[in-house]
Structure 1
């Protein structure tokens, strides 16, 4: 119903509401919204139409179609849909670079320090067993290497990509976009859905280092568990971050 307000996501940093065919994003961090608007203007892939902006609110038109799924849920889209998504991601990664660094562009040294601190906290607080953390910290090491920067989305979850049949109709949530490691996007997109990785890479094309993709699965999950737990999400739910960590060797 157009007169109903749906809470899409809400936590202490930001919230997204849907009213009919309009999404209202509320974010007190103006710089983050600036990045989102500029990234959508620059990206050579379908993005939502900006209807209006009045800080701290950004109004976006709803996209046609549905998402491929979500982490921890079934991803029932066809292999062709995953291949189409891969081709769209490649189109983004080959675009001219934005002028700023995004979430996927943090340096290896900075990431290593952040990861080591987070791993220690996961063990000290008892959130995860030490053996599980240590094993995945070793897997994550392969992501901490030099890479050629690309135009990255920075939070390319499958819930952020919409398709109508096998056609990509748009990508949402660009606040983490910027120059970064393209394999971070591929890993984020395939996180928890390894069974669809081959179809994704058919569309993406080129040589992709699967060891680095797996390393990003471990790294992203290790960094996310505590934040998710503290913000009302459940990384222990079936198929989510903790299950991803348990599956990696």
Structure 2
């Protein structure tokens, strides 16, 4: 059948066994098997003191949100075309979020992070995903993140594709389903994962209080714990500039 005039194509943004995001024109439809994710997302966006996409409607398991203007700060595995000023603006937005009152739901506990790290390192070793020395060294680096932190309002999944800019202005931050009280250095690390050369630009806008050692530790920790999930859900953490490259790069820092 011929495509009808005036209709928008359906674009699959991301899809795996847990959730899918579809784009139809300027509307994103997020389908999630866990209703708590959408609940957290809508509550977090209402509380966050940064630009967020408008919620159009919510009928579980579907959440409809409007597109935000601009383009993502970058993508994992490719150099970011955004200006230093845009990165600084992103840093300032993250700081506003971290300085905001904590959301009224629990965050991730330190013991949960440590247990997950141990389990994922064991899996990576058992499946020879990387040489044992790479895993061992990154597990050693990750230790610096396993310390008590003063909780802040964190996004919780602040990937570079989740921050949108137009020129040097942040126009929107998307995908808030992991938001809650947490370690602010985690957000800074996830945003610069694979783009370590932009950390100075980000921190120029973020201001004082960032701990570079802990940020580097989270680069290792995040890459260690995310790799199995990515592999099992059809993604490639070994693509250039992605998680396994991040882990190998830490060996050069030794």
Instruction: Please tell me the TM-score bracket, short chain as reference.
Output: over 0.9
1:23 aligns with 2:25: no
Q: Which runs of 5+ in 1 are unaligned?
A: none
Aligned partners of 1:26 and 1:57 also within 8 Å: yes
Q: Distance in 2 between the 1:101 and 1:194 partners?
A: 30
Deviation at 1:2, TM superposition (A): 4.8
CA RMSD of aligned residues (A): 1.0
Are 1:142 and 1:211, in contact at CA under 8 Å, matched by a contact in 2?
yes
Q: CA deviation at 1:101?
A: 2.6
Specify the alignment match of 2:72 in structure 1.
Answer: 67
Task: Render the CA deviation track for 1:103-131: whole Å, top value 9, x for unaligned.
Answer: xx331x22222111111110111212111
Is 2:49 the counterpart of 1:47?
no
Kindly state the Cα deviation for residue 132 of structure 1 after the two structures are TM-superposed.
Answer: 0.7
Determine if the alignment matches structure 1 residue 215 to structure 2 residue 220: no
Q: How does 1:90-109 map to 2 (within 5 A)?
A: 90-102=95-107, 105-107=108-110, 109=111
Q: 1:190 aligns with which of 189, 192, 195?
A: 192
Distance in 1 separating the partners of 2:129 and 2:228: 8
Deviation at 1:62, TM superposition (A): 0.5
Which residue is equivalent to 1:57?
62
Whether the 8 Å CA contact 1:127–1:226 is kept in 2: the answer is: no
Q: TM-score, normalised by structure 1?
A: 0.97
Map of 1:205 onto structure 2: 207
Segment of structure 1 superposing worse, 33-42 or 109-118: 109-118
Does 2:9 align with 1:4? yes
Alignment match, 1:86 = 91
Q: Which residue of the other structure, out of 57, 77, 84, is the alignment partner of 2:82?
A: 77
State the Cα deviation string for residues 71-114 of structure 1 (Å, max 9, x = none): 11221100000000000000000001001133xx331x222221
Partner of 2:120: 118
The answer as to 2:228 corresponding to 1:226 is yes
Q: CA deviation at 1:207?
A: 2.8
1:47 partner SS: coil
Q: How many residues align?
A: 246
SS of match in other structure, 1:41: helix
Q: Within 2, Cα distance between the matches of 1:121 and 1:98? A: 33
Separation of aligned partners in 2, 1:63 and 1:2:
20
**How far apart, in 2, do the equivalents of 1:2 and 1:17 lie?**
15
